[in-house]
Amino acid sequence: MDALRHVKPVVRGLRAYTLQARPATVKLDQNENPFDLPEDFKREVVARALARDWARYPEFDPTELCAALARHWGWRADGVLAGNGSNELIEALLVVTVGDGTPVLIPEPTFTLYGLLSQVLGGRLVRVPLGPGLEYDADALSRARREHEAPVTIVCSPNNPTGSVLALDAVSRLCDEADGLVVLDEAYHEFSSQDAVPLLARHPNLVVLRTFSKAGALAGLRLGALLASPELVREVNKARLPYNVNFFSQTAALCALERRSLLDERVARLVALREALIARLREQGGLRVYPTAANFVLVELEAAEPKAVYEALYARGVLVRDVSSYPRLSRCLRFSVGSEEENEALLGALREVLAPVEAR
Ligand SMILES: Cc1ncc(COP(=O)(O)O)c(C=O)c1O
């Protein structure tokens, strides 16, 4: 019996999105917020959850949450969809737009989930390489979009794992050039100085994705959002699973929005820590540091082998992300910006690990 023959061949040919979840005292591999929310915040969320009947489903449409998200980001509530992490909304969006042979324009390298899900759905990936310094090449994106008449163009800005940003005027131009959707994933936007939401009013083909997993310090509770025109949101909503956001996560997100200054202060600290980390990495030598507008830094090793450095850092208690299997990044590692102590631990471990290579 070969039950697997009923799985789509394209799916059987793909590699799953996986992560080596290794325990570590200094965890800098997932671009998480190193500053957990304070205990009084957590107690408030738990208290509100205790006041509710857990045997009942959450609201059919999380209207209070969507209204609060809309106010927070400056968009209309009927143009907001909440999800169990933004990953879930990426999936819903691709489900309603990508079918057999649909060209999906994807910069390379970028967040792998887009390519994986597009292929599961039968889409045809059109990969557009980033520029020589791993910056976005807006003209190349436009050209490829025209040539392939791509109905879906993905742009993560800041991009994961490079940290690159596509300027808002280039986003606007892309939206103006054709009616294909431009999906702007702003998972890290709080760490950059860009906000694409004001563009939504002018561009009915723009979709913005946001998450509470990074600046929001709620990765464990899974909360993401999709912002677009109400007409488009109504269509994506058809592929959203019923009751996708549990009431606990909804409550936590509402509490986070009520205490915005708590998160803003953490973002400001992380941006300062990022700049300090970049300066120290540049002094370190033996590596090239790419510009970043996110809460992580991509480095290219000059002489050392990324896999060996990754393991040597791990042996010293520091877990980073080995991105050397990504296209164009065969010599690269990615470091999340951690707390001051975590960044010191990373820098200390790197010094030890890279010194013997440089001394050769
Ligand atoms: C660009 C990008 N989009 C989306 C996500 C997923 O976020 P969420 O935790 O909201 O599913 C990530 C996570 O690393 C990401 O890097």
| Atom of ligand 1 lying closest to residue 88 CA | 11
The pLDDT assigned to 38 comes to 96
- Domains of the chain by residue range: 3-37+261-359, 52-259
Q: Which pLDDT belongs to residue 355?
A: 82
Among 19, 32, 86, 210, which is best to mutate for testing ligand 1, by the most ligand atoms less than 8 A from CB?
86
Residue 118 pLDDT > 80: yes
Per-position DSSP letters for 258-303, written without gaps between them: HTHHHHHHHHHHHHHHHHHHHHHHHHH-SEEE---SSSEEEEEESS
Query: Architecture of domain 3-37+261-359 in CATH?
Result: Alpha-Beta Complex (3.90)
CA-closest residue to ligand 1 atom 7: 86
Looking at residue 333, its pLDDT comes to 98
- Residue among 88, 298, 117, 108 nearest 213 (CA): 88
Confidence of residue 359 (pLDDT cuts 50, 70, 90): low
Tell me the pLDDT band of 20, cut-offs 50, 70 and 90: confident
Q: Whose CA is nearest to atom 12 of ligand 1?
A: 187
Calpha distance 227→77 (Å, rounded)? 9
Residue 113, classed as helix, strand or coil, is helix
Q: Are 102 and 123 in contact (CB under 8 A)?
A: yes
* Residue 62 tokens, joined: 């999380």
* Tokens representing residue 96 in the block: 């309603």
Quick one: pLDDT at residue 357?
Answer: 62
CA of residue 340 to ligand 1 center, whole Å: 24
Each residue of 240-277: pLDDT tens digit?
999 999 999 999 999 999 999 999 999 999 999 999 99
Q: What mean pLDDT comes out for the span 327-348?
A: 97
Please give the pLDDT value at position 343: 98
Q: Is the pLDDT of residue 54 over 80?
A: yes
Across the chain, where does the E strand assignment appear?
Answer: 26-27, 80-83, 103-108, 124-129, 152-156, 181-185, 206-211, 224-227, 287-289, 296-301, 318-319, 321-322, 332-336
**Is residue 16 pLDDT above 90, yes or no?**
no
Q: What is the mean pLDDT of residues 219-227?
A: 98
Examine the pLDDT at 190 and tell me if it is beyond 80: yes
pLDDT of res. 18:
77
Mutation pick for ligand 1 pocket among 29, 33, 81, 111 (CB with most ligand atoms within 8 Å): 111
What is the reported pLDDT for 130? 97
Per-residue pLDDT, averaged over 318-342, amounts to 97
- For residue 99, how far is its CA from the centre of ligand 1 (angstroms)? 23
How is domain 52-259 classified at the CATH fold level? Answer: Aspartate Aminotransferase; domain 2 (3.40.640)
306 alpha carbon – ligand 1 mean position (Å):
24
pLDDT value of residue 252: 97
Please give the number of the atom of ligand 1 that sits closest to the Cα of 159.
1
Residue 160 has pLDDT above 80, yes or no: yes
Residue to mutate (ligand 1; options 19, 29, 69, 87; most atoms within 8 A of CB): 87
Across residues 32-39, what is the average pLDDT? 97
Identical fold between 3-37+261-359 and 52-259: no
State pLDDT tens for residues 87-114. 999 999 999 999 999 999 999 999 999 9
The stretch 307-321 carries a mean pLDDT of 97
Residue 332 pLDDT class (50, 70, 90 cuts): very high
Residue nearest to atom 3 of ligand 1 (CA): 187
Q: How far is the CA of 313 from the centre of ligand 1 (A)?
A: 25
